[in-house]
Amino acid sequence: MYRFLWRLLPGGAALRLTIAVLLTGGAVAALWYVVFPWLAPRLPIG
């Protein structure tokens, strides 16, 4: 799966790595600042 995703990215190794890091960072930021703050108050933890 990871190899398949890697091939999906355009450019050479350096560009692919950059894009991969940016996409991962974006996903982490979206989780941390949008998804988690929405989800956390809805969990039954005190």
Partner 1 sequence: MTATVRVIGELCLPAGLVLLLFYAYLLWGTGAETEREQRVLQRRLGEVFLRHEGRTGPAAVRPGDALALLRIPRLGAGYRFAVVEGVGPDELRRGPGHYPGTALPGQVGNFVLSGHRTTYAAPFNRIDRLQRGDDIMVDAWDARYTYQVTRKEVVDPGEVDVVDPVPGHPGQRPTTAYMTMTTCHPKFSAAQRLVVQSVLVRREERRD
Contact positions toward partner 1, by CB under 8 A?
1-2, 28, 31-32, 36-37, 39-42, 44-46
Least distance between partner 1 and beta carbon 35 (Å) = 9
Q: Which is nearer to partner 1, 10 or 44 (CB)?
A: 44
Q: What is the DSSP string of 1-35?
A: -HHHHHHHS-SSHHHHHHHHHHHHHHHHHHIIIII
CA atoms lying within 13 Å on the CB side of residue 42: 5
Least distance between partner 1 and beta carbon 13 (Å) = 21
Least distance between partner 1 and beta carbon 30 (Å) = 11
21's tokens = 């890091």
